[in-house]
Amino acid sequence: MATVVIIEDEETIASAVAARLRSEGFTVEVAGDGPSGVDLVQRVNPDLVILDLMLPGFDGLEVCRRIQKDRPVPVLMLTARDSETDLLVGLAVGADDYLTKPFSPRELVARVHAILRRVGRGGDPLASSPAERTLRLGRVALEPATRRATLDSEPVHLTPTEFDILALLGDKPGVVFTREQLLADIWGYRDGFGARTVDSHVQALRRKLGAGVIRTVHGVGYAAGDDELTPKANRA
């Protein structure tokens, strides 16, 4: 069963989340501030990190940067802030999803399962593609089987969410996906919530792989970047 690290300074929340995840069969470790959280992640090598945004020591954004530097561990960010900017920054530094407090334990467990499923620790939706196939988008190559990405044959670190977005677009070159379709396909959300989180992940991908890797189709959404291809409506 998967190991989850919780980094949260509010003890009531940390212990409630830990108890709920343990009852679901997860192995859970808890840290109460930024520096000890980073140490804990490096020590136990978890399958997923639940990370509070506001933490003593240094905040969740800095924790996210540091733990993502070593390897792409999925991060679910918790926040009491209602500032959208903070959330977008969180997603840009490598968080895969977020929950705003107060949240229901059931919602949290559902998100944890969804993230783990996506990154292949419990049935990867991408595993239905031929395992050995490499997706090519110009200078970028993606290997769904190993979840490795390269730019001009040099390895590039992508978060699980960034990888999934690019793999989804790259699998259907020329097809335009709306933000709502991406949210539904990648995150499993059906209510169109958080369309701007898609923009934030796309920005991160462009920073890492070049502006041309994903094309904005104004008023519609996004497509894999290739000027040669004519966009056509997807599942309209």
Q: Contact residues for Ca ion (CB under 5 A)?
A: 9, 52, 54
Q: Cβ-closest residue to Ca ion?
A: 54
CB of 79 vs Ca ion, minimal distance in Å: 9
Distance CA 82, CA 101 (A): 9
Q: Which residues contact 81 (CB under 8 A, 6 or more apart)?
A: 53, 54, 87
Cβ–Cβ under 8 Å, residues 21 and 4 = yes
Which is nearer to Ca ion, 47 or 52 (by Cβ)?
A: 52
Which is nearer to Ca ion, 52 or 97 (by Cβ)?
A: 52
Q: Which is nearest to 137 in space by CA: 228, 230, 219?
A: 228
Which is nearer to Ca ion, 16 or 54 (by Cβ)?
A: 54
Cβ–Cβ under 8 Å, residues 176 and 187 = no
CB of 152 vs Ca ion, minimal distance in Å: 41
Q: Which is nearest to 216 in space by CA: 236, 197, 199?
A: 199
CB of 204 vs Ca ion, minimal distance in Å: 24
Which is nearer to Ca ion, 51 or 204 (by Cβ)?
A: 51
CB of 50 vs Ca ion, minimal distance in Å: 12
